[in-house]
Homo-oligomer: A and B are copies of this chain.
């Protein structure tokens, strides 16, 4: 009873000011300027040139590698070349994981190599053992302790293809939770069918985490054809493989979030945040993950910044190239921590980190007083083939920590039907990006950022009561 009263009081406390607030508005003039920007963006190739430059000149840029530092220098220089008003960096420190070599092979009468890649976070080691296949992660999790002693666990789960990437939930869990389940059953090594939807000899890497108290074992992903092959061999009888990984943790590294701003016309200290993450996995050149996101953000800010000062939006456009998303949202968490006291100055945020497919939906969870303004943004996005939805996919991984403590966020959903053909593989290269689809993305982010930054009123950014930070 007392808890109910308290809850009611809290609801009153935090909801009353919102309900009393004036509706957020976007004027016709802003809509007209947004339409002009949209057409300009569709005809512009800045996004393509940026992602071409990053993937070609820097190439793969594993967090903590020498290429990480080159990527930071590249981003600073690129922001400046694109005319950003302010460019700076903010340090992001994290443990450094290195991949040095990796191989696997079937032993015995059907001796042959298998294409594998170490999971991020895997320790080094060479193990040989009989393979025990599990159709799903849950099957492995049911294995009795000690039942896999001396053996190599193989989870053969086949991830589903979906436009919204929803297959990655269960697919990704095989990677994150599989190794610990294997250790608990006594396995000496872990292999999995890659969390991917292609049929090429390119395994998909990505982080795994070992539960506290467990001794990590060499853990790797097989390409999908190699998983097919191993499953067939296991079905024929006892199958022994050797897995040899040279990789592991090696101290700490400090990289940088690289930030560029186009200053707002009248409220320069309030910002709309867009961007992507600068790091990539080492196997590809990080074109769709996430050179495209960095390029979309940089190009959108550039297009807005090209406007005469008087036509700039009221607020500042802040574009962030986040450090080390891949290994645990380090850049996004550092940003949230640094700007926790400035949540209200963050008008709205959206990150692009799901490739370069066409955006098909827009959604923003906001208080009721901002719904008209959200609808106006959706209206301006409509000619790009973008549908307005009530519920979206959130605002991207790197902004999720900040969103969790109160920043209002929007989601621009990209068509990810083919995303997991390429994700975290050597095949994540520039040729996989369609320049026209990329330009559609740039146009969408340009329109979105411009209108959000020019709105009269806000979208509900406020420290979350649950955090006691208000």
Binding site for B on A (CB under 8 A): 52, 55-60, 66-67, 70, 106, 109-113, 115, 199-202, 224-225, 228-229, 232-233, 236, 284-285, 425-427, 429-432
With beta carbons under 8 angstroms apart, the residue of B111, B115, B425, B427 that contacts A66 is B111
State the copy count for this chain: 2
> Is the beta-carbon distance between A228 and B430 smaller than 8 angstroms?
yes
> Is the beta-carbon distance between A200 and B199 smaller than 8 angstroms?
no
> Is the beta-carbon distance between A284 and B201 smaller than 8 angstroms?
yes
User: What is the CB-to-nearest-CB distance from A180 to chain B, in angstroms, rounded to a whole number?
Assistant: 30
> Given A225-B431, A229-B285, A429-B229, are A110 and B56 neighbors across the interface (CB < 8 Å)?
yes
Q: Which residues of B contact A59 (CB under 8 A)?
A: 106, 110-112, 229
Q: How far is the CA of A201 from the CA of B432 in the complex (A)?
A: 12
Residue of B nearest to A421 (CB): B200
- Other A-B pairs, 17, CB within 8 Å; known A55-B229, A70-B109, A112-B285: A56-B110, A56-B232, A56-B236, A57-B109, A57-B110, A60-B113, A66-B111, A199-B431, A200-B202, A201-B202, A201-B284, A201-B425, A201-B426, A225-B429, A225-B431, A228-B431, A229-B430
Q: How far is the CA of A453 from the CA of B284 in the complex (A)?
A: 53
Most buried by B among A52, A58, A200: A200
The SS class assigned to the A binding surface is helix
Q: Which residues of B contact A111 (CB under 8 A)?
A: 59, 66-67
**When A and B form their complex, which 9 residue pairs have the shortest distance between CB atoms, in order from nearest?**
A59-B112, A201-B426, A225-B429, A56-B232, A199-B431, A57-B110, A225-B431, A200-B200, A201-B427
Some 10 contacts from A to B, beta carbons below 8 A apart, are A59-B111, A60-B113, A67-B111, A67-B112, A70-B109, A112-B285, A200-B202, A201-B429, A225-B431, A228-B429
Q: How far is the CA of A56 from the CA of B236 in the complex (A)?
A: 10
With beta carbons under 8 angstroms apart, the residue of B60, B70, B199, B284 that contacts A432 is B199
Q: Which residues of B contact A430 (CB under 8 A)?
A: 225, 228-229
Q: Which residues of B contact A228 (CB under 8 A)?
A: 429-431
> Is the beta-carbon distance between B112 and A229 smaller than 8 angstroms?
no
Q: Which residues of B contact A106 (CB under 8 A)?
A: 59
User: What is the CB-to-nearest-CB distance from A102 to chain B, in angstroms, rounded to a whole number?
Assistant: 13
User: What is the CB-to-nearest-CB distance from A467 to chain B, in angstroms, rounded to a whole number?
Assistant: 42
Q: How far is the CA of A172 from the CA of B66 in the complex (A)?
A: 38
> Is the beta-carbon distance between A200 and B427 smaller than 8 angstroms?
yes
User: What is the CB-to-nearest-CB distance from A470 to chain B, in angstroms, rounded to a whole number?
Assistant: 47
> Is the beta-carbon distance between B200 and A56 smaller than 8 angstroms?
no
User: What is the CB-to-nearest-CB distance from A85 to chain B, in angstroms, rounded to a whole number?
Assistant: 28
With beta carbons under 8 angstroms apart, the residue of B67, B200, B236, B426 that contacts A57 is B236
Residue of B nearest to A231 (CB): B56
Residue of B nearest to A61 (CB): B112
User: What is the CB-to-nearest-CB distance from A114 to chain B, in angstroms, rounded to a whole number?
Assistant: 10
Residue of B nearest to A425 (CB): B201
Residue of B nearest to A201 (CB): B426
Q: Which residues of B contact A70 (CB under 8 A)?
A: 109
Most buried by B among A60, A67, A112, A431: A112
Q: Which residues of B contact A199 (CB under 8 A)?
A: 431-432
Q: Which residues of B contact A112 (CB under 8 A)?
A: 59-60, 67, 285
Q: How far is the CA of A106 from the CA of B202 in the complex (A)?
A: 21
User: What is the CB-to-nearest-CB distance from A154 to chain B, in angstroms, rounded to a whole number?
Assistant: 16
Q: Which residues of B contact A113 (CB under 8 A)?
A: 60
Q: Which residues of B contact A427 (CB under 8 A)?
A: 200-201, 225
Q: Which residues of B contact A232 (CB under 8 A)?
A: 52, 56
Residue of B nearest to A70 (CB): B109
Q: Which residues of B contact A67 (CB under 8 A)?
A: 111-112
Q: Which residues of B contact A432 (CB under 8 A)?
A: 199
User: What is the CB-to-nearest-CB distance from A401 to chain B, in angstroms, rounded to a whole number?
Assistant: 31
Q: How far is the CA of A70 from the CA of B60 in the complex (A)?
A: 40
Q: Which residues of B contact A57 (CB under 8 A)?
A: 109-110, 233, 236
Q: Which residues of B contact A60 (CB under 8 A)?
A: 112-113
> Is the beta-carbon distance between A58 and B229 smaller than 8 angstroms?
no
Residue of B nearest to A223 (CB): B426
Q: How far is the CA of A180 from the CA of B65 in the complex (A)?
A: 38
Q: How far is the CA of A389 from the CA of B42 in the complex (A)?
A: 49
